[in-house]
A and B are shown apart, each in its own frame.
Chain A
Amino acid sequence: MTNSKLKTKHRRAAQIILLCAAIFALVGAGDPATRFNEIGHQMMCICGCNQILLECNHVGCPASDGMRNELQAAVTRGDSDSLVEQSFVQKYGPTVLAAPTAKGFDRVAYIIPFAALFFGFGLMVLVIRAWKNRPAPALADGLHPVHGAELDQFRDQARKETDL
């Protein structure tokens, strides 16, 4: 296969992957029960139990019942997700959201781990390159280093002998 054909294939594969990712990101369920469930799992109960709103089972919780009713009412009214979130944040403060938003300084929460991932991968590639270029350790007198085709030949032989 020629190089240009291979490149076109890779490009198409990347396009398909991107398209799939976009579909996954954009597809969302819209019925009220699912929305109630989804938004309710993005919020915290504010009584201090540190539980997700819809998972709060704190006996005699002074907050979760009221919050669930508010959420149900907002979803039934057809309020958008962001409007529901805004109204909850205004009423209960930013800690009502179960995760940082993708706005302002909160974005840093998401950026740093992925930045660390890319930085780590970059660093790893550099380390591997540096280690590959390191001179081979000296061998005892009379021994000759084996590499290249000769080394591959030995490897093939070992593979055949062990059947692995």
Chain B
Amino acid sequence: MAVLGSFALMLALALSAYTFIAGILALVEGEGSERIGETARRAGIATFGAVLLASVVLVVCAFQNNFSIAYIFHHSNRDLPGPYKFAVLWSGQEGSLLFWSLLLAAYGFVLRLRYKTDPRLFAYASVVLAGVQIFFLLLLNFAANPFGILEGPLRPDGSGLNPLLQYPEMVIHPPMLYLGYVGFTVPFAFALGALIMKYPGEKWIHITRRWTMVTWAFLTCGVFLGAHWAYSVLGWGGYWGWDPVENASLMPWLTGTAFLHSVMMQEKRGMLKMWNMWLVFATFWLAILGTFLTRSGIISSVHAFAQSSIGDWFAWFLCITLAVFLFFFFKNKSHLKSEHKLESLVSRESSFLFNNLLFVLLCFTVLWGTWFPKISELVQGNKVTVGAPFYNRVAIPVALLLLILTALGPLLAWRKTSLESLKRNFMWPTIGAIAVAIFLMITPQRWGSPFGLKPWQDISYFYSLMAIALSVLVTLTVASEFYRGGRVISRHTGQGMFASMVQLTHRNTRRYGGYIVHFGVVVVIIGFAGAAFNVDKEQAMANGDKMDIGPYTLICRSYTQDDSPNKASEWAILDVYRGDKKIDTMTPVREFYKASQQASTKPDIRSGLNEDLYLVFEGQNEKGEPIIKAHLNALVMWIWMGVWIMLIGTVLALIPNAPAPVRVPAPARLETAPAVTGD
């Protein structure tokens, strides 16, 4: 099997190389080289088959417990449940590179099948994709081969999968994240292709819009699934630790989001062409940089794969892609001049400019914070830590500014908005936001989070109040957009308000889907704002012991153990009371995985709209009693709800618009007829 896998990888490399070289030849020679171009396209399609074969072989080896293959030995064991054996494909360095390559080949497969949309542009994009594919296949064949044979005698069992990865979400989180990372290669390929061929007009933007949105949705899903996994498995009570690897996924998301906004300027007004080119490139480049960070060992992170020489490969690849992009950018930048002028500072165009500035600045802050330990080491000889307190101080104010723009942007018209109309549209949402802020401050704290907020007590409360008030502002501006648009349709068609809003959305899915995404974002922000109210408590709990946290009382009913072929578990059984009423029984657990000889804690979480009760089995004291850490995490559920809303909005924005109602001009003879409707 290992030979078959290695052969498939070598074949895939040969096919990619052919796609790249023959593709370039066909493009350079132009007329008369269609047949070479067609063979290049078909070789690109066949690359997918070869990489798929290699991936299937690796998964089959995992299911067959083929521990002669080093990768399977290190990342699987006989008693590993089936779904996790499937996840072995992306659990380690070599497998995840193969998975990356598979996804890239799959995107290339779809792209090459749809080449008829614009054969020449697609041919350029196909060559760029093949170039990236060659890099990953070179890595797989010569630096990180997943089919390497284990030296020495055949082992009876494998070392097992990392316990932290043995969680259902880990079966879907990496694929989502990788679909996002890899997917941004496609818009980059189209952008670079359009730049090289000096593509006329903005059609390439239309072609890549769906690719970009789908990719963005996958990356959003991947990032938040990672956060949910961290929250549900790691047991430290939080969902985002500003770890370099988490940051690596956030950076392309930020630039990708900026691109999704600024691309509208290019489509509608023919502006920001150079900027968009840079944003697409930066998003692709940051996705590769993230992979470099994870795999080079250059920056320490709990998520990082083992340190290896492939970091050098990535460093070279980053340099080469930058050089290629810079070369074509400076060669053809005259093609990227804006077609229109900006008419007013108070316009949607300038709101997009500032929105982009803030997104890019946030991305720069995250990049800066990620690299600062290394910079500090180079300059002053010692490392420093750049953790959550740094990002809270620097990124939160910028994010709040961004929220203000999110509220303001939809109310601004293209070209120019009169201050009077802005005042008219902005007044009621602002009054609503201020009213909510005052309400949150004057309500009693016993109502739970986020009531009774006293922003003068702590800067984190101040940020929370600002975040919630601005979220309300955004929500009200979005609602007012739906309401005003719905009212116009309702008056013209006589439909009810809700039906009119549905019709309005269907007529411009991109715009109103986008507003729903904005609404999802503010729901997520409200969830983040809850972090200011988190409390925790730790206590050893013998049978019958009590712990009070917030409105809850925990009583330890018992503690017990369990054993299975894969792992041994220790459980605490805790009854949860609210007042005198028992509302739940929770069972935080600590597990010991036999194959890998590693322990991990898995929290038990009781989620509610106001707060999550989050219990962790921390360990045992000298008497053998469980030590329980209880967290009361405010508004966390809003984060997960917000992500769902964002995804629904994205799907909505991907649906084609309903055709506009056709207005048939009245026949001349009716023009003079008396009105009979009494309208």
- A residues with a Cβ closer than 8 A to B are 23-25, 27, 29, 41-42, 44, 48-52, 54-57, 59-60, 93-100, 104-106, 109-110, 112-114, 116-117, 120-121, 124, 127-128, 131-137, 152, 155, 159, 162-164
Contact = CB atoms under 8 A, between A and B. Distances in A.
B599 A60 contact: yes
B616 A113 contact: no
Contact of B387 (A27, A52, A127, A164): A52
Contact of A136 (B341, B353, B385, B394): B341
Contact of B382 (A93, A121, A136, A163): A93
Interface string B340-370: 1111110000100110010011001100110
A91 to B, nearest CB: 15
A163 B384 contact: no
B376 A50 contact: no
Nearest to B619: A59
B629 interface: yes
A4 B523 CA distance: 42
A152 B338 contact: no
B357 A59 contact: no
A98 B385 contact: yes
B534 to A, nearest CB: 10
B459 A124 contact: no
Interface of B: 234-238, 241, 243, 271, 300-302, 338-345, 350, 353-354, 357, 360-361, 364-365, 368-369, 372, 376, 379-380, 382-390, 393-394, 398, 416, 418, 421, 455-459, 462, 484-485, 487-488, 491, 536, 590, 599-601, 616, 618-619, 629
Contacts of B386: 99-100, 109
Contacts of A24: 455-456, 459, 462
Given A109-B368, A116-B365, A164-B488, 17 more contacts: A27-B456, A27-B457, A54-B536, A59-B601, A60-B619, A97-B384, A98-B387, A99-B393, A100-B390, A124-B353, A132-B345, A133-B341, A134-B338, A135-B341, A152-B418, A155-B416, A164-B484
Given A27-B456, A27-B457, A109-B368, A132 B384 contact: no
Nearest to B535: A37
Contacts of A48: 300
Contact of A23 (B300, B341, B372, B456): B456
17 contacts: A44-B385, A49-B302, A51-B236, A51-B302, A52-B388, A57-B629, A94-B383, A94-B385, A95-B384, A99-B386, A100-B384, A110-B390, A124-B354, A124-B357, A128-B353, A135-B341, A164-B484
B-side interface mostly: mixed
Contact of A132 (B241, B342, B357, B487): B342
Contacts of B618: 57
A163 B487 CA distance: 8
A57 B236 contact: yes
A50 B241 contact: yes
Q: Which of B236, B459, B484, B601 has the most CB of A within 10 A?
A: B236
Contacts of A127: 353
A140 to B, nearest CB: 15
B366 to A, nearest CB: 10
A131 B384 contact: no
Contacts of B488: 162-164
Contacts of B619: 59-60
Contacts of B388: 41, 52, 98-99
A105 B379 contact: yes
A98 B369 CA distance: 12
